[in-house]
Structure 1
Amino acid sequence: MKNTRRSVLATVALVLGFIWSASAFSASLDDQLLARLGQSAPKIDKQVLKTAFSASRCAISNGVDMPDRLAVIDFSLPSTEERLWIFDLNTGKLLLRDLVAHGRNSGNLESTEFSNVEGSHQSSIGLFRASESYYGKHGYSLRLDGLEPGINDLARQRAIVIHGADYVNEDWIHKYGRIGRSHGCPAVDNQVVRKVVDNLKGGQLVFKYFPDQQWLHSSGFLKCDNRTLAGKNLKKSG
């Protein structure tokens, strides 16, 4: 009996040791990838990048399909700055950095107000999954599904999509001191919209950041709280 108990304990210890080693190895790889992402985009706020990366890893651990790319939008920056970054998560390289609009009721030069309400014409923050591309009234566009209940989960219902716009370019900045504003969509320059959509469609992740204290302290992805995320359908749709 004692030998059997020792054998069981030894097996449990071995399994736990393997799990800990695998977890530590995975964490080490994540740290290396995060460092490469930061090096490829020296002008991004490193804390914003870390927050986006952590949220994406939390989503993956809770059932979201592994993405190949991650887009980060930093709405704490004014619209005159290139505040959209798209990263390749396989190579750690920066694929694109460019301008991106916020909603007309989110602010003027800077965005300060965000919403999950249909008709608000405000941007929403948090983690999204980029879904299918389509041709609509703005041309080649990309649907977004919000993954955070109460924060952005009505994105599809609100028709919050990535699309091109003639008001997102340097000419607008020179003329008006800012780019134009959307109805809540993260609109981009018509010159780069195809590259943006093609890199993100089919399940890539999009993270929109703003230092909203309530969201920062309550988001299940930022805390990686399984209780907050429990029962939520995070699997890729369609």
Structure 2
Amino acid sequence: MKKLFLLLIWTSLSVSPFAFAHHSGTKTETKATQQLVEKAYKQANLSGVIDYKLFNDAFLAYKKTPDRKKSLLTIIDYSKPSTEKRFYVVDLDKMKLIFNTYVSHGVNSGKKTATKFSNVVNSRKTSLGTFLTDTTYYGSNGYSLRLDGLTSGVNDKARERYIVVHGADYANPSFIKKNGYLGRSWGCPALPQKLSREIIDTIKGGSVIYASA
């Protein structure tokens, strides 16, 4: 009778030992991930270069991308004006920042700073969210890198919009000196011509890009 009474109390509280195990496992996993983020941020000397919260969000997006094939994380910080180097490529194996340069935003996203973003075809605005790099090709903008938008409703029309990484003369630092802001694209993250091929060849084929504002 006593055993039955205890069983009824246990059942009424809807407590399961598995719930405790799952909760404990989740907490451990979260702590381990947080430690990994802190380690990568510190060893790659990103303090004062990339905002910690942005890096944390980008790293979590990287971890959640199942089809990634490279331990490279590209971060684009569109909260910064185009006159600042806001394009970063971090090698998470070597714990090292390997590229930091300028990147354009869409002509309808803003002038010096991007404030408007879109997933709409022909909007000529920048898209935010998580992207996965794919293959390269030669198009109207020269050597370019195809991107797949992985964030539903935010950038999943990247292919349809022809949002790609490419080099452009308007993305060169000389454009800033002449005009006071970086030139703008039709929504593509355009890079300085001298660096574009090297960066594209580094991040192509299944690396994660995280764009935030």
Q: TM-score range by the shorter chain?
A: 0.7 to 0.9
Alignment of 1:147 with 2:150, yes or no, is yes
Alignment of 1:128-147 (within 5 A): 128-147=131-150
Alignment of 1:15-164 (within 5 A): 23=29, 25=32, 27-37=34-44, 39-40=45-46, 42-57=48-63, 59-60=64-65, 63-164=66-167
- Structure 1 residue runs of 5 or longer lacking an equivalent are 1-11, 211-238
User: How much has 1:133 moved relative to structure 2?
Assistant: 1.1
Gap change, CA 1:21 and 1:109, over 3 Å in 2: closer
Contact 1:40 1:92 in 2 (8 A): no
Question: Following the alignment from structure 1 to structure 2, what is the Cα–Cα distance between the partners of residues 145 and 73?
Answer: 16
Contact 2:103 2:189 in 1 (8 A): yes
Gap change, CA 1:30 and 1:170, over 3 Å in 2: closer
Matched position secondary structure for 1:191: helix
* 2:14 aligned partner: none
Question: Following the alignment from structure 2 to structure 1, what is the Cα–Cα distance between the partners of residues 121 and 26?
Answer: 45
Question: Following the alignment from structure 1 to structure 2, what is the Cα–Cα distance between the partners of residues 66 and 19?
Answer: 26
Question: Following the alignment from structure 1 to structure 2, what is the Cα–Cα distance between the partners of residues 149 and 40?
Answer: 29
Gap change, CA 1:21 and 1:123, over 3 Å in 2: closer
Question: Following the alignment from structure 1 to structure 2, what is the Cα–Cα distance between the partners of residues 107 and 22?
Answer: 42
Matched position secondary structure for 2:136: strand
Contact 1:142 1:162 in 2 (8 A): yes
User: How much has 1:31 moved relative to structure 2?
Assistant: 3.4
User: How much has 1:138 moved relative to structure 2?
Assistant: 1.2
Question: Following the alignment from structure 1 to structure 2, what is the Cα–Cα distance between the partners of residues 150 and 76?
Answer: 20
TM-score, with structure 2 as normaliser: 0.83
Question: Following the alignment from structure 2 to structure 1, what is the Cα–Cα distance between the partners of residues 49 and 192?
Answer: 20
User: How much has 1:40 moved relative to structure 2?
Assistant: 4.1
Question: Following the alignment from structure 2 to structure 1, what is the Cα–Cα distance between the partners of residues 71 and 188?
Answer: 23
List, as ranges, runs of 4+ consecutive aligned residues in structure 1 with deviation greater than 4 Å. 18-22, 24-27
Question: Following the alignment from structure 1 to structure 2, what is the Cα–Cα distance between the partners of residues 91 and 81?
Answer: 25
Question: Following the alignment from structure 2 to structure 1, what is the Cα–Cα distance between the partners of residues 71 and 47?
Answer: 17
Aligned-pair identity (%): 39
1:201 to 198, 201, 204: 204
Question: Following the alignment from structure 1 to structure 2, what is the Cα–Cα distance between the partners of residues 30 and 105?
Answer: 34
Matched position secondary structure for 1:28: helix
Contact 2:37 2:56 in 1 (8 A): no
Rg comparison, structure with higher value? 2
Q: How many residues are aligned here?
A: 194
TM-score, with structure 1 as normaliser: 0.74
- Structure 2 residue runs of 5 or longer lacking an equivalent are 1-17
CA RMSD of aligned residues (A): 2.3
Alignment of 1:173-192 (within 5 A): 173-192=176-195
Matched position secondary structure for 1:167: helix
Question: Following the alignment from structure 1 to structure 2, what is the Cα–Cα distance between the partners of residues 26 and 43?
Answer: 21
